[in-house]
Structure 1
Amino acid sequence: MHLSLVTSVLLTFAVFWNQIEYQQLIGSWQLTHFEGMEKIVNSSQYQNASAAEKAGMDARINYRLENTVYQFEEGDLLKFTDLENQTVVQKEAKIEIKEGNMLLIHEERGDRLAKIVEFSDDKMVLQPISKNSVSGKLIFERIKK
């Protein structure tokens, strides 16, 4: 019994100790990889495509990567680029970090939720959470000034 109490205390401390603070996120983050790319490249549509069609799909993937930047700013504000109808648009949202490193994004179209599954000074991995679909992880690297 004593051992399980010690284990519980240590696990609670580990969760608290690993909680990411908003201040750690402040700065610019570039999307460098998303698991959805692998689904596209492994799809039969991609595999059976002509060289020109594959080049077009690859160009759209690269365009998405190059144009997805998250800028976390003071005041719990996220400025980010997004694609709407193949056009890059700038958006803003309020951010909350909930227990368990859950990132709650209050966007005009509704709230979005993602879990920060990995974090360091230079890398952040987000797992979007959605009732409608299971999307893959998004890997960001901090943009050095």
Structure 2
Amino acid sequence: MHLSLLTSVLLTFGLFFGQVEYKQLIGSWQLTHFDGMEKIVHSPQYQNANSMERASMDARIKYRLENTVYQFEAGDVLKFTDFENQTVVQKEAKIELMDGNMLLIHEEKGDRLAKILEFTDQKMVLQPISKSSVSGKLIFERIKK
């Protein structure tokens, strides 16, 4: 009994902290949580807003979550939704998965970097890496077909 529990814990630990292979990423991933949302909800602007303003902010957060999908495809291609001028746009980028579970996304506006902090078949936690800001973790769940 204790051996099977220990084995399960070690396998889970290995999935969280082992090297992710690109083929494991292939599929669609829905954004379910973004640390930046917590900053908004705890901000004075949100806290002091009337119910209509708060409902509007909540709707924008929900819209952003519902419309942020990463589609990893064979050939190191990432198709994803992004927002430009409050409008959802489809984009495509080449992607590299490097040692240390680092994702390098080659976009038209330049390269972006993110670290995979946690990974299972159903959940992926990314930490965008930027010299200019700390944007918080992004939590994705695999979209079941």
TM range, smaller chain? 0.7 to 0.9
Deviations 1:87-111 (A, max 9, x none): 0000000010111000000000000
Secondary structure of the structure 1 residue equivalent to 2:97: strand
Amino acid corresponding to residue 94 of structure 1 in structure 2: K
Distance 2:95 2:80 in 1: 12
Residue in structure 2 matched with residue 3 of structure 1 by the alignment: none
Mapping 1:1-145, distance limit 5 Å:
18-145=18-145
How far has the Cα of 1:135 moved from its partner?
Answer: 0.6
Q: Identify unmatched segments of 5+ residues in structure 1.
A: 1-13
Residue in structure 1 matched with residue 6 of structure 2 by the alignment: none
Please report the TM-score for the alignment, with normalisation by the length of structure 2.
0.88
How far has the Cα of 1:55 moved from its partner?
Answer: 0.3
Distance 2:121 2:104 in 1: 20
Distance 1:77 1:56 in 2: 34
Please report the TM-score for the alignment, with normalisation by the length of structure 1.
0.88
Distance 1:114 1:25 in 2: 14
Distance 2:46 2:80 in 1: 29
Amino acid corresponding to residue 78 of structure 1 in structure 2: L
RMSD over aligned CA atoms reads 1.0
How far has the Cα of 1:124 moved from its partner?
Answer: 0.2
Amino acid corresponding to residue 120 of structure 2 in structure 1: S
Distance 1:30 1:77 in 2: 17
| Overall identity of the aligned pairs, in % | 81
How far has the Cα of 1:73 moved from its partner?
Answer: 0.2
Amino acid corresponding to residue 35 of structure 1 in structure 2: D
Distance 1:53 1:141 in 2: 29
Residue in structure 2 matched with residue 9 of structure 1 by the alignment: none
**Residues matched between the structures, number:** 130
